[in-house]
């Protein structure tokens, strides 16, 4: 995942600080994810935020071998994994609704006052 995050960031010509700000994360948190320092301990919410900040999907960041909502048939999931998938999908829907309510900001993330 770390290589895909780095490639997506570099493709957009963004700094780590810019991506962290877009994702609503602390720079140190984003840096640890991109460097792979956090290993497998990256929450789904953090991955979702980074994907949105980079204008890509979670599936693209995780790669084809990692299950994600919509990519795995529900009967293959354990009950706990299925519950988590549903929670992530609800969170994604809520984030989309909230983002739609936010005022549009000029490119660069700072509003003019």
**Interval 25-56: pLDDT, tens:** 999 999 999 998 876 677 888 888 899 899 98
pLDDT at residue 73 in the model: 43
What CATH number should be reported for the domain holding residue 2?
Answer: 1.10.260.40
What percent of the chain is predicted at pLDDT more than 90? Answer: 27
Is 110 inside any structural domain? Answer: no
Q: Which of 15-24, 40-49, 70-79 has the lowest mean pLDDT?
A: 70-79
Is 111 inside any structural domain? Answer: no
Is 45 inside any structural domain? Answer: yes
Question: Strand, coil or helix: what is 69?
Answer: coil
pLDDT at residue 12 in the model: 93
Same domain, residue pair 45 and 57: yes
Q: Each residue of 5-18: b (16+ CB within 10 Å) or e?
A: beebbeeeebebeb
Q: Which residue is listed with tokens 């204008």?
A: 55
- Rounded to an integer, what distance in angstroms lies between the CA atom of residue 30 and that of residue 17? 8
What is the count of structural domains for the chain? 2
Range of the domain at 55: 1-63
Is 108 inside any structural domain? Answer: no
> What is the reported pTM?
0.59
Same domain, residue pair 59 and 7: yes
Same domain, residue pair 25 and 53: yes
Predicted confidence (pLDDT) at residue 108 exceeds the cutoff of 50: yes
Same domain, residue pair 23 and 57: yes
Which is more confident, 6 or 87?
A: 6
Same domain, residue pair 29 and 45: yes
């Amino acid at each position: 995942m770390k290589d895909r995050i780095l490639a997506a960031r570099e493709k957009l010509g963004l700094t780590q600080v810019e991506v962290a700000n877009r994702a609503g994360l602390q720079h140190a948190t984003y840096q640890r994810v991109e460097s792979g320092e956090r290993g497998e301990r990256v929450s789904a919410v953090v991955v979702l935020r980074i994907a949105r900040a980079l204008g890509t999907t979670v599936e693209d960041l995780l790669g084809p071998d990692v299950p994600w909502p919509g990519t795995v048939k529900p009967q293959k999931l354990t009950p706990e994994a299925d519950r988590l998938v549903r929670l992530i999908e609800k969170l994604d829907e809520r984030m989309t609704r909230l983002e739609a309510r936010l005022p549009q900001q000029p490119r660069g993330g700072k509003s003019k006052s």
